[in-house]
Amino acid sequence: MRPGRRAVSNSGGAETPGLWWQGGGSQHSTTHHPSSAPRRLRSPAACRVVGSVSGRFQIFWEDGIMSGYRHPKSSALDCVLSSFQMTNETVNIWTHFLPTWYFVWRFLVLSSSLDFCQEPYHWPLLIYLLLVCLYPFASSCAHTFSSMSVRARHICYFCDYGALSLYSLGCAFAYGAYTMPDHWVSGVLHHYFVPVAAFNSFVCTGLSCYSRFPELEHPRLSKVLRTAAFVYPFLYDNIPLFCRLLFCFWSNCTWNEAMAGYCYHLLFALLTGFLFASHLPERLAPGRFDYIGHSHQLFHICAVLGTHFQLEAILCDVCSRRTWLQDRLPAPGLPGTFGTAGLAFLGNVAIIGAFTSALPRAPGSFVSPPSVPTEAGRHMMLWGEQLGCKGLWGPSRPGTPQYSPPPPNGGRIG
């Protein structure tokens, strides 16, 4: 293994040394002696400057997260190994990877007691369970492999958004089959509830994927579009649940486990939306919650807890309302269940494919940015790794030799 420099062209056409550690066919970020940096850089403000000088990988930065970033050109193996190291994505990965296996275990246990193949009554539940297992797994994979490249990051989150859209459709299947208020059963809304939810999944995936395109130039617009993409199907899917809860409160109906579970589900859903939109607590104390406790980690935890309570409530309705529902509704058919779910899946895959093919026209998708940082800016970014930023691209591998670049402009900034 030997230290090496990779020449990178700056905006003036000169060759600027890109500081990487070469070995084993991959490139890794190096650590640098803080003694070679000017003292004025050793401050939290310098860390913010370090983040702002790199237009090339700006898409990887998150509000309020100042350190713990993985290398933005990691290999797939490096991404997997990083899940066992402490970065700002580690908890994000595990807070959805472990719940995936919890939901898989619940699915297997239910499969041993319920006849999903021979009883059409349980087909909507089967679709819901499959999609409940899918969305946390897709999220975990997206967070794991999103640091391979700018293009890979976009594709990973396109798939994540598609899985969330399909999960919203799974909720509609379950609510339409088991949770619909008594006086809405067999009504107009009940007949069109799932088909409209399938259409909503296309809108959700399309709008959320599109929101990544203006992310650099118009971050607020991007955030608004992405939030609306998921709030809209959530509100639609929960119309039967909202009405059922309101009717129950007004008529003083019997409070059962299903109603309690739905209330807990809605509580955690509201917390999930609040955390996603607010970026708290890291917005109040940038750099304090980089590794543990930032909003996206709490967002994952609340989402999983909400799904858990939702699953328990749906299972209560499946058992307690079975006789009443089967007396008033025909048995679900293949076209209305697996046919609709299959078409929705293919449609969402097509939407993801269309946006993936459009990536070269998306801001931040090019490997070469419109403006490359100056040589002084590059050195500032690299020095920030061992100053107050605590490792801009995450820790280097144990035993990696250190390399100190010569200070630009004789150690003067500007």
Q: CA-CA distance, 126 to 129, in Å (whole number)?
A: 5
Q: Is 120 in the same domain as 209? A: yes
Q: Is 155 in the same domain as 22? A: no
Q: Is 346 in the same domain as 373? A: no
> Average pLDDT for residues 149-160, to the nearest whole number?
96
384-406 per-position pLDDT tens digit: 443 344 434 444 444 333 333 33
| Tally of CA atoms within 13 A in the half-sphere of 330 that contains its CB | 6
103-122 per-position pLDDT tens digit: 999 999 999 999 999 999 99
| Contact between 164 and 135 (Cβ < 8 Å) | yes
Q: Is 268 in the same domain as 382? A: no
pTM of the model: 0.77
Domain range spanning residue 123? 90-361
240-281 per-position pLDDT tens digit: 999 998 888 887 777 788 999 999 999 999 999 999 999 999
User: Binding site membership: which residues?
Assistant: 143, 296, 300
Q: Has residue 58 got a pLDDT over 50?
A: yes
Q: Is 242 in the same domain as 330? A: yes
**What's the CATH number where 201 sits?**
1.20.1070
Three-state secondary-structure class, residue 16: strand
Q: Is 37 in the same domain as 112? A: no
The reported pLDDT for the residue numbered 249 is 81
Q: Point out which residues pair with 173 in neighbouring strands.
A: none
Q: CA-CA distance, 135 to 104, in Å (whole number)?
A: 12
User: Binding site membership for Zn(2+): which residues?
Assistant: 143, 296, 300
The reported pLDDT for the residue numbered 15 is 32
Q: Is 242 in the same domain as 303? A: yes
Q: Treating both helix axes as pointing N-terminal to C-terminal, what angle do 257-278 and 219-237 enclose, rounded to 10 degrees?
A: 170
Q: Is 407 in the same domain as 354? A: no
Q: Is 68 in the same domain as 118? A: no
Strands (E), 24-122: 26-28
83-100 per-position pLDDT tens digit: 999 999 999 999 999 999
| Contact between 89 and 157 (Cβ < 8 Å) | no
- Number of domains the chain contains: 2
Burial (CB count <10 Å: 0-12, 13-18, 19+), residue 233: buried
> Average pLDDT for residues 287-300, to the nearest whole number?
95
Residues 6+ apart with CB under 8 A from 183: none
Q: Is 379 in the same domain as 269? A: no
Q: What does DSSP assign to residue 384?
A: G
**Parallel, antiparallel, or unpaired: how do β-strands 15-23 and 2-9 relate?**
antiparallel
218-250 per-position pLDDT tens digit: 999 999 999 999 999 999 999 999 999 888 888
Q: Is 285 in the same domain as 166? A: yes
122-138 per-position pLDDT tens digit: 999 999 999 999 999 99
Task: With cut-offs at 50, 70 and 90, classify the pLDDT of residue 57.
Answer: low
Q: Is 344 in the same domain as 396? A: no
